Amino acid sequence: MTSIWLDRTDTFTSDPFEPDSKYDTVVAGAGLTGLVTALLLARSGQKVLVLEARFPGAVTTGNTTAKVTLLQGTFLAQLARQYSQKQVQAYVDANREGQAWLLRYLDEHRVPYQRRDAYTYAATAQGTEKLREEVSAGTTAGLDMEYVRDAGLPFAVHGAVRLPGQAQINPVQVLDTLMEDIRSRGGTIVSGVRLRDVTGDAPSAVKTNRGSVRADRVVLATGIPVLDRGLYFAKLKPSRSYAAALELPEGQAPPPGMYISVEQPTHSLRDYEVDGKRLLLVGGHGHHVGRTQSEKAHLAGLLDWAGQHYPGAVTTHTWSAQDYLPTNLMPFFGKLPRGKGQIYFGTGYNKWGMTNAVAAAVGISADILGGQVPWADTIHHRVTSPSGALSAVALNAGVAAKLASGWGKMAAEGVATEGGKALKKGKEQAAPQPAPVVPAEGRGEVYREGTRPVAVSTLEGTTCRLSAVCTHMGGIVHWNDSEQSWDCPLHGSRFTSDGKLLEGPATKDLPQAGKA
């Protein structure tokens, strides 16, 4: 599953990684947050190193639907139910600045983008009340939203919110331009190097899988912080959603705007022109990472919906993306707690990262360089509402239940456990060894082998056996049948079929079975 943005012949060439080097700031993560932050710091004269564990845009930025819009479903109405108008206004101001910065930058560097009106639509009569709440929240915050009956879609809707003059981008083109700019200002961008820890006073030791460097400041732009200080993994719900690019038959055309539905499952639409053809991009049908029987079924549901409304459409690409949803709704950015004032981070963009990522980068760079951003100060001083606190309690109760059920299943199958971990051999008599499990091609299973949970999969004729215990906090991993990966249902860490870490708060690969 490769996104339309990442399906290209160009490859990234890494700068050399030089262990024991010293930098003003090390940025972990070469997505939109990390690269905008790195550029703003490099512009100020800082010596900046960007570390990317895989390749630029590998995670959320390279798999987004890439709408640069201040109409974000009915998110402002949701914020208004939990926060004061001052806080809602600060969020709008942050996103307005993020949008303005990005589009101005693209204009200056002649990177193409398209202006589009944005719509949130209701497919049912019940959804129209949410639309009116969004119009009220948006107009109060100074946005030119209006309620309309016709959204220009080829199917009936009961109403829509319209915000004119928003934008859509190719996110990988944006990353390419940012990287060229950073390097032109003396910055270094390295791929294949994963940050694992930050220790000591400034200049801190930044520890990676390929050695250490030193830096006065560190920025975690890794989707979710890969350092557990601040316990943000307990404040964020990891969500996986799906997208597809469709070539429409002659006589059909994508709708003229950018769209997202009020109802669940979410349906998102926009167009994208490539090789002289206007493709339709659809997205949605999300779920909590690792907590569905079949990821393939979610993607199939999205494609079925698209086929109903655009009969004859041919799928050219399918992909998925991971986002992190804060229990208290508001994104997190700034100084990481217990980071000695040297570690900064951004996370929790609620699937609206094209504006929030840039806003977070502006706020982080201002903190590092001694600037002041009024909307950032307001957001930093928010107070979690009772409903936000209850949401956090519910999220973590679900995590605890999933941890218990995963290990409970292993215990029921004969794995002796103690405190959420398999007992070591010799602590009690091991059960007889069953015959090795060999899943069918393209499938993965979790089972017990002696006293250990084992994750086994078969791909292209090769069977791989791994520890089934997530290296972050000990959850039992789940086989993702769409992307053929091992996904942790606790906090969203994901691993390839042979155990290599893809994303999430974990910092280490899954070990081979028997070596955990």
Q: With bands split at pLDDT 50, 70 and 90, how would you rate the model's confidence at 382?
A: confident
270-324 pLDDT, tens per residue? 999 998 999 999 999 999 999 999 999 999 999 999 999 999 999 999 999 999 9
Residue 420 has pLDDT above 50, yes or no: no
The rounded distance, in Å, linking the Cα atoms of 106 and 66 is 14
CA distance 164 to 155: 21
The pLDDT of residue 103: 98
Confidence band for 416, pLDDT divided at 50, 70 and 90: very low
Residue 204 has pLDDT above 60, yes or no: yes
Instruction: Give me the DSSP letters along 70-88.
Output: S--TTHHHHHHHHS-HHHH
Q: Report whether 295 contacts 32 (CB < 8 A).
A: no
Question: What pLDDT, on a 0 to 100 scale, did the predictor assign at position 323?
Answer: 98
- Integer-rounded Cα Rg, in Å, for the chain is 23
Give the tens place of pLDDT for each residue, 74-103: 999 999 999 999 999 999 999 999 999 999
**CA-CA distance, 125 to 226, in Å (whole number)?**
43
pLDDT higher than threshold 50 for residue 419: no
| β strands within 150-264, DSSP E | 159-168, 188-191, 195-199, 204-208, 211-220, 236-247, 258-261
At residue 368 the predicted structure's pLDDT band, cuts being 50, 70 and 90, is very high
Distance separating alpha carbons of residues 151 and 119, to the nearest angstrom: 7
- Are 55 and 247 in contact by the 8 Å Cβ rule? The answer is no
- Could you tell me the CA-to-CA distances from 290 to 237, 238, 474, 476 in Å, in that order? 12, 9, 14, 10
Query: Residue 496 in 3-state DSSP?
Result: strand
Task: Give the pLDDT confidence score for residue 436 in this predicted structure.
Answer: 72
pLDDT higher than 80, residue 464:
yes
Provide CB contacts within 8 A for 436, sequence distance 6+: 449, 456, 465
Burial class, 262, CB count within 10 angstroms (exposed 0-12 / middle 13-18 / buried 19+):
buried
DSSP H/E element including 281: strand 277-288
